[in-house]
Amino acid sequence: MRMYDLIEKKKQGKELTKEEIDYIISEYSLNEIPDYQMSAFLMAVYFKGMTMDETVNLTMAMANSGDTLDLSAIDGIKVDKHSTGGVGDKTSLIVAPMLASLGVPIAKMSGRGLGHTGGTIDKLESFRGFKTSLSEEAFIKQVNDIKLALVGQTANLAPADKKIYALRDVTATVNQKSLIASSIMSKKIAAGADSIILDVKCGSGAFMENLKDAEELARIMVSIGEMVGRQTVAIISDMNEPLGHYVGNALEVYEAIEVLSGRGEERLKELCITIASYMLIGGKKAESFEDAREKMERVIREGKALDKLAEFVNAQGGDMNQVYHPDQLPKAMYRKELLAPNEGYLTACKTSEVGMASLILGGGRETKESEIDLSVGIRMDKKLGDHVDKGEVMGVIFANDADLFKPAYDRLINAYTISEKLQEPEALIKKVITRKDVMV
């Protein structure tokens, strides 16, 4: 085989065989195919697309390009979740202990964040002493013992995807649905879960800004999962404003604890209960969505989910007292109130700009080498649809460098549109895609 011929074939819109895709991924992983040829191939895919079979074959080639996690030693059905990214998305911190408190094994690998805030692993380091690295043996034992372990992704999990994504990032080929879907699903499949629940974000702070594109991406990912024997469900959820009240790292941990304590912002709570309910069904611990939802609400009400979070933090070397006393989490030195520039209703939010304000404060990484400040971030007290008076406090900015207040403040205030007329916010759960909705 020659890469030149395969580029030409895809350029003409023809379907590649499994053997041809395996060849591309294998040879590129071994540095036998140069970046310039892979770039040409990715651009051909961007314009000509891929069939469902091609997308599945690409997913599996990347999943098998490195280590695959064998979770067969863990008792029960292993359920995992993935979010396509969003501002203020701390759902894993909430959903995982809810599921584990009901006996569903959660063996989760999570990456570090690159962007406006840290990933789940970074956020968990807000707990003093928390260890994000466990041996495979210790990882499996902990899941069997307490039903929950969450560690950093190994460097050799779907390494072809990492290499290809880095190239997509600099060749304007990120935003192609088959490439997005195969990237996400290759890591989930390599991580060994039996059932996968996807939270596909839609709106101004998401990869997919409109429902049509979000639904198409969701259908592709559900099809991939089902075609390779993983029960897969995709929930399409709104990202036209930050999820919850807080954006940051320790601040989002604080908000997760609020939800697990029976408080917290309503939309965040609703999304977590929805995701967790589908995960409970996937884990065969509930007969219906209504049954699952009742169980989710009960573990919060009875404090079992919060206790499970404390047990999990303690098992990985963290200070469990901070779960029960979240005021002990890292705090920024300075705070500045965000004031409404005029009277009216909050009608729109450029969610990505809220994320950029957090990044300016030091809450995220611009490069892999950047250090995150776990204590900084933003609290937005007002949500879309709320009325504000001129000069009313809309939120609070938390910083450790007072010089960063102005650029963050300007970015944040310009992210919101205040209008005279009330405009109802978008529905939180836009659609749920299951096996019956796709051709498998």
Residue 202 lies in a domain: yes
The C-alpha angle 211, 214, 216, rounded to 5 degrees, equals 110
Same domain, 398 and 267: no
Q: What is the pLDDT of residue 115?
A: 60
Question: Token pair for residue 364?
Answer: 């995220």
* CATH number of the domain where residue 229 is located: 3.40.1030.10
Residue 118 lies in a domain: yes
Compute the 3-state secondary structure of the chain and give helix, strand, coil in percent, each to the nearest 5: 45, 15, 40
Same domain, 106 and 228: yes
Is 391 exposed, middle or buried, given 0-12, 13-18 or 19+ CB atoms closer than 10 A?
Answer: exposed
Same domain, 231 and 315: yes
Give 157's DSSP letter.
B
Q: What is the pLDDT of residue 116?
A: 65
**Residues forming beta bridges with residue 118, ordered by sequence position:** none
Distance from chain centroid for Cα 114: 12
Neighbours of 430 (CB within 10 A): 18
Same domain, 286 and 397: no
Question: Token pair for residue 2?
Answer: 């020659």
Residue 73 lies in a domain: no
Q: What does DSSP say about strands 195-202 and 79-83: parallel, antiparallel, or unpaired?
A: parallel
Strand order in the sheet with 429-433: 79-83, 195-202, 231-238, 429-433
Which secondary structure element, helix H or strand E, spans residue 217, and what is its range?
helix 211-227
pLDDT tens, per residue, the chain with 440 residues: 999 999 999 999 999 999 999 999 999 999 999 999 999 999 999 999 999 999 999 999 999 998 888 899 999 999 999 998 789 999 999 999 999 999 999 998 887 665 667 788 889 999 999 999 899 899 999 999 999 999 887 768 889 998 998 899 889 998 899 999 999 999 999 988 899 999 999 998 787 889 999 999 999 999 999 999 999 999 999 999 999 999 999 999 999 999 999 999 999 999 999 999 999 999 999 999 999 999 999 999 999 999 999 999 999 999 999 999 999 999 999 999 999 999 999 999 999 999 999 999 999 877 666 788 999 999 999 999 999 999 999 999 999 999 999 999 999 999 999 999 999 888 999 999 999 888 66
* CATH number of the domain where residue 44 is located: 1.20.970.10
Same domain, 293 and 340: no
Q: What is the pLDDT of residue 118?
A: 73
The Cα 220–Cα 66 span in angstroms is: 23
Question: Token pair for residue 220?
Answer: 């592709």
Same domain, 351 and 381: yes
The Cα 421–Cα 435 span in angstroms is: 41
Which secondary structure element, helix H or strand E, spans residue 397, and what is its range?
strand 393-399
Same domain, 105 and 197: yes
**Residues forming beta bridges with residue 231, ordered by sequence position:** 195
The Cα 20–Cα 8 span in angstroms is: 13
Domain tally, the chain: 3
* CATH number of the domain where residue 372 is located: 3.90.1170.30
Residue 228 lies in a domain: yes
The domain boundary residue, chosen from 63, 96, 114 = 63
Q: What is the pLDDT of residue 357?
A: 95
The Cα 235–Cα 281 span in angstroms is: 14
Distance from chain centroid for Cα 141: 25
Same domain, 389 and 350: yes
Same domain, 36 and 124: no
Question: Token pair for residue 129?
Answer: 């002493």
Same domain, 256 and 122: yes
Q: Which residues contact 101 (CB under 8 A, 6 or more apart)?
A: 147, 299, 304, 305, 307, 308
Question: Token pair for residue 388?
Answer: 């504000």
Same domain, 361 and 288: no
Residue 193 lies in a domain: yes
Residue 72 lies in a domain: no
Residue 70 lies in a domain: no
Residue 256 lies in a domain: yes
Is 439 exposed, middle or buried, given 0-12, 13-18 or 19+ CB atoms closer than 10 A?
Answer: exposed
What's the length of the chain?
440
Q: What is the pLDDT of residue 343?
A: 97
Q: What is the pLDDT of residue 382?
A: 96
Give 115's DSSP letter.
B
The catalytic residue positions are 82, 161, 168, 183, 187
Give 232's DSSP letter.
E
Q: Which of 181, 188, 155 lies closest to 81 in space, CA to CA?
A: 188
Q: What's the Cα-to-Cα distance from 161 to each of 48, 167, 252, 316, rounded to whole Å?
A: 20, 10, 28, 29
Amino acid of residue 165: Y
The Cα 238–Cα 309 span in angstroms is: 26
Same domain, 319 and 337: no
The Cα 361–Cα 2 span in angstroms is: 48
Question: Token pair for residue 107?
Answer: 């063996």
Q: Which residues contact 31 (CB under 8 A, 6 or more apart)?
A: none
Residue ranges making up the domain that contains 100: 79-325+429-437
